[in-house]
Amino acid sequence: YIIYIMWKIRIPNEIKELKDSPILNCSAGPKNDDLMKWEATLFGPKGTPYDGGVFILDIDFTKEYPLKPPRVLFKTPIYHCNVNSQGAICLDILKDKWSPALTVGQLLLSICSLMSDPNPNDPLVPEIAELLIKNKDVHDAKAREMTFKYANK
């Protein structure tokens, strides 16, 4: 019962926080008034191969939130060593480093940071990580091409 109460209070508070203090290059909120299913929009960080792209993510909360992290998936295809073709994201705070003190806003900032600074040492897609390490120029060209193809709004 306490867990049920926690998400019932926490999620509306996070909606208000995102409205009152918007995050640069990010937005998020419920889809169709369903507090448990959100959609986020991230603008590709400047100076990265994703610059100019608009990326849509799905955020699904469970009733265990904020004790457990939400499930976050890229809906827009992205060429990134830490995001697979299903949109799953390899990010420590979505796994074992989650803390109930974290908010959706902080999570979105972490995903933006991952877009700026991929982690090839913990890849979901080893081939992309290998290319990033061995030939960043070719990697970035492929990432730009995919951004232009799928995230160009």
Residues annotated as catalytic are 90
Distance between CA atoms of 90 and 114, rounded to whole angstroms? 9
* Terminal Cα-to-Cα distance of the chain (whole angstroms): 43
Distance between CA atoms of 29 and 38, rounded to whole angstroms? 5
CA atoms within 13 A on the CB side of 83: 19
Bridge partners of residue 42, in order along the sequence: 26, 55
Nearest alpha carbon to residue 57 among 34, 37, 36: 37
- Reduced to 3 states (helix: H, G, I; strand: E, B; else coil), residue 70 is coil
* Residue written as token pair 């160009």: 152
